[in-house]
Amino acid sequence: MPFNVKLFTGEATSYLSEKIAESYGQPLSNQTTLRFKDGEYEPCFEESIRGDDVFIIQSTFPPGDNLLELLLMIDAAKRASAKRIVAVIPYFGWARQDRKVKPRVPIGAKLMADLLEAAGVTRVMTMDLHADQIQGFFDVPVDHLFGSYLFLNHLKESMDIDNLVMATPDVGGTRRANAYAKALNVDLAICYKQRKVANQVADMTVIGDVEGKDVVLVDDIIDTGGTLCKAAEMMLEHGAKTVRACITHPLLSGDAHKNITNSRITELVTTDTIPLKQENKKITVLSVAPLFADVIKKAHNYESISTKFIF
C-alpha cells in the first residue's frame, strides 16, 4: 500500500499552500506553532507522519524567519520518522548570491542548499531559480519548474503572436528570453544595461528590431522595477507598439508598485510564488498552485514530471 502524503505549510506561504492543497485534492495537515515571548518559535506536526511523504511548502523571501521556519519544520519531520521530506520552495530566496562577484562575500545560495540538506531534506521543488547552476549546489534531487509553463499559455491566449517580440531587460536573461522566442517562433530583442550600484541602472541600449511590435519582457525576478520600467521605455522609444512583462517572482520592493503604475508598461504578468503587498491594476497574477499540486502528486507516485517542463 502506498504511503500517505502530508502537506504542511510555512506561515508566510499559507495563502499559496491552501490553493496547492485544494488543487491536490486534500486539506493541509494539522500543525501548530508555539511562539515564545522572546520571539523564538517551535513548529509542531499535530498528527503522525511516520513513514509518510511529507511536503513542506514555504517560499524563502525575506525576512530570514521564513527560511528558519522551513528548516525547523524539516528537522521536525526528520525526527518524526517521515519517509521522504520534500521542501516545496516556490521562490528560492538568496539565489542572487550564486557566485562571488567580489572578494570577501558569501555564496549565499550554496549556504542555503547546505542548510536544507543538513536539516534533513530529501528532495527540493522550486521554480525559476535565478541561476540554473544552483541545482548543482544540492546533493539531493531538485525539481526545477519554469514559469514559462504558465506564461506561454497566457501569451497564446491573450496576444497576437504574429506581431510579438520577446525581450529581456538585461543580457543575463538572454537564454530565458531566447527560449520563449523559440517556443513561440518569434524574434528576440535584448536590453543591454550598465549598473554603477545595485538597484540603479546607469545606462541602457536596445539590441534588435522592435518597430511596430508588441514586446514582452521576460525575467525571473522583479525587485524595485527600475530596470523593467527603463527597459520598457527604451523599447517604446525604439518604436515598439506596446510593452508587457512576464516575470515569475514579484518581490516588488520599495517603490516598485509606484514605478509600475507610473510606467508605460501595459501589463505585468506574474505568479503567486510571493504574495503581493498591494493591489495594482496593471498586474495580472497567474497561480502556480495547480502546477505544484500536479508535480507533488507525480513525485509521490514516482511518475515522470518531464511533461511539466517547457524549457
Give 34-93 pLDDT, tens digit per residue.
Answer: 999 999 999 999 999 999 999 999 999 999 999 999 999 999 999 999 999 999 999 999
How many domains would you assign to the chain?
2
Pair (66, 33) in one structural domain: yes
DSSP character string of 235-247: HHHTT-SEEEEEE
My answer on whether 11 and 134 are in the same domain is yes
What is residue 106's three-state secondary structure? coil
pLDDT at 276 exceeding the cut of 60: yes
Residue range 4-23: average pLDDT?
A: 97
The C-alpha atoms of residue 24 and residue 28 are separated, in whole angstroms, by 10
Please tell me the number of Cα atoms within 13 Å of 306 on its side-chain side.
1
Q: How confident is the model at residue 134 (pLDDT cuts 50, 70, 90)?
A: very high
Residue 108: strand, helix, or coil: helix
Looking at residue 171, its pLDDT comes to: 83
Task: Give 201-240 pLDDT, tens digit per residue.
Answer: 556 788 899 999 999 999 999 999 998 999 999 999 999 9
Q: How confident is the model at residue 206, as a pLDDT?
A: 87
Residues 32 and 70 in one domain: yes
> Longest Cα pair distance anywhere in the chain, in angstroms?
63
Residue 152: its H or E element:
helix 148-158
Dihedral over alpha carbons 175, 92, 273, 170 (to 10 degrees): -30
pLDDT at 222: 97
Are residues 161 and 255 part of one domain?
A: yes
Q: Which of 6, 110, 193, 230 is catalytic?
A: 193
Q: Are residues 187 and 247 in the same domain?
A: yes
Q: Which domain holds residue 63?
A: 5-146+289-308
| pLDDT score, position 202 | 55
Q: Residues 15, 18, 19, 20: is their CA dihedral positive or negative?
A: positive
pLDDT in the model for residue 172: 83
pLDDT for res 197: 59
What CATH number should be reported for the domain holding residue 47?
A: 3.40.50.2020
Band of the pLDDT at 170, cuts 50, 70, 90? confident
Helix (H, G, I), strand (E, B) or coil at 52: coil
- Does residue 138 share a domain with residue 162? no
Distance CA 191, CA 212 (A): 17
Say whether both 68 and 172 belong to one domain.
no
Catalytic (active site) residue 297: no
Residues 153 and 275 in one domain: yes
- pLDDT value of position 1: 41
For residues 108 and 152, state if they share a domain. no
Best CA proximity match to 311, nearest among 191, 182, 220: 182
At residue 3, φ and ψ (nearest 5 deg) are -75, 160
pLDDT band, very low/low/confident/very high, at 196 (cuts 50, 70, 90): low
Kindly state the helix (H) or strand (E) to which residue 205 belongs, with its residue range.
strand 200-207
Neighbours of 33 (CB within 10 A): 13
Considering the domain architecture, whether residues 140 and 233 belong to the same structural domain is answered as no
C-alpha cell at 200: 540603479
Looking at the structure, tell me whether residues 21 and 140 fall in a common domain.
Answer: yes
Higher pLDDT, 132 or 49: 49
Q: What is the pTM of this model?
A: 0.93
What is the C-alpha separation between 272 and 217, in angstroms, rounded?
Answer: 18
Tell whether 75 and 183 lie within a shared domain.
Answer: no
